[in-house]
Amino acid sequence: MTDVLLEFKDLGKNFGGVRALDGFDMQVKRGEIIGLIGPNGSGKTTSFNLMTGIYAPSQGEVHFDGADITGMSARKVYEAGIARTFQRSRLCLPLSIYDNIMIGNHARLNTGLWFNLFQRRALREQIEEFYTQARDLVAGFSTDLADRMFEPVGSLPMIERRRIEICRALISEPKLLLLDEPSAGMTHDETAQMMDDILAVRERMGDLSIIIIEHEMGVIERLCDQCVVLSYGRKICEGSYAHIAADSEVQSAYLGMD
The topology under which CATH files domain 1-81+175-258 is Rossmann fold (3.40.50)
Domain spans, the chain: 1-81+175-258, 92-173
One-character DSSP codes across 185-207 = T--HHHHHHHHHHHHHHHHHSTT
pLDDT tens for each residue of 124-159 = 777 788 889 999 999 999 999 999 999 999 999 999
pLDDT in tens, 188-231: 999 999 999 999 998 888 789 999 999 888 999 999 999 999 99
Please state, in angstroms and rounded to a whole number, the distance separating the CA atoms of residues 191 and 196.
9
